[in-house]
Amino acid sequence: MIREFFTVRRVALWALAVAAFATTASAQEPSLRDAPRAPAPSFAEDQTLIGLIAGPQRAANNTARDAWRHPLESLTFWGLRPGLTVLEIQPSGGYWTEILAPYAAKTGGHYVAAGLPSATDPAVSEAGHKARAAFEAKVADPSVFGTVTYADFNAANGLTAPAGSVDLILTARNIHDWMWTPGAVDRDLASFAATLKPGGILAVEEHRADPRPMIPEARDGYVAEDYVIAAAKRAGLVLEARSDVNANPKDGKDHPFGVWTLPPTRRSAPAGQPANPSFDHARYDAIGESDRMTLRFRKPG
């Protein structure tokens, strides 16, 4: 049944013991790079999930990205299952929301959106208020999305949510932004660990710098896997598996405007400057979206 909707890529997993992790992210560790590959997982034929990925509640601009983001394979790898309380960090345009919220609603779970601009904070810009209103409008139909609730999150303060209340936290392509605020990554991951139930999962998708070195603060958007793994370990989380499901070997990671040169952003000038109408996007469009790490961490207990 899965093949009727998707072409499933082979997923490579590495099984790692906690003792193999370093206490800092300053160097790439041979024990991580050389970890043996585990067998590819068998994807359960979750008909609810399959139907929602192909469902009409999804925006066309989001479904167009499925070839790069592999929603069925990624969510299966991360351990999504019926009845979970799932919290998404900074859902933005709702790529994952359009799948996760209806899935929770149909399976007896609950979806929480964290990190949207505050609806009541007068310091939030007009654009921020519009983004919040657009997200709320997107998920307004409870017959499709269930009852969506909201939690506060920002890189400066971390996640504000009841301790031990969430089964799965998903953060997709956010960590590079938090690295630009001193101390934010450790603070944020610690708050995620506190919010997870014992045995809960932190799911991470992020632009991957490897195999070349990560530049300081990942200012081009590309983060080293070892950096994320070490930061999660400091927060008390254990790397359970990592996957190449979202790998893109065409991505040479040497683009003039960092990862944002690639789709979907397709930047043609430095950040904050007007777009360059003469910039040739063809080379970068041919690469597609970025090479990404896909990691699954678990809270002990």
How many CA atoms does the CB half-sphere of 267 hold within 13 Å?
A: 14
| 227-276 pLDDT, tens digit each | 999 999 999 999 999 999 999 999 999 999 999 999 999 999 999 999 99
Domains of the chain, by residue range, sit at: 2-251+294-298
| Cβ–Cβ < 8 Å for 206, 173 | yes
| 173-220 pLDDT, tens digit each | 999 999 999 999 999 999 999 999 999 999 999 999 999 999 999 999
Separation CA 14–CA 244 (nearest Å): 10
Sign of the dihedral defined by the CA atoms of residues 141, 145, 150, 155, in that order: negative
Separation CA 210–CA 290 (nearest Å): 12
**By C-alpha distance, which of 293, 295, 120 is closest to 223?**
293
| 119-148 pLDDT, tens digit each | 878 888 999 999 999 999 999 999 999 999
Number of H helices, E strands in the chain: 13, 10
pLDDT score of 284: 98
CATH number, domain 2-251+294-298? 3.40.50.150
Lowest mean pLDDT among 1-5, 252-256, 284-288: 1-5
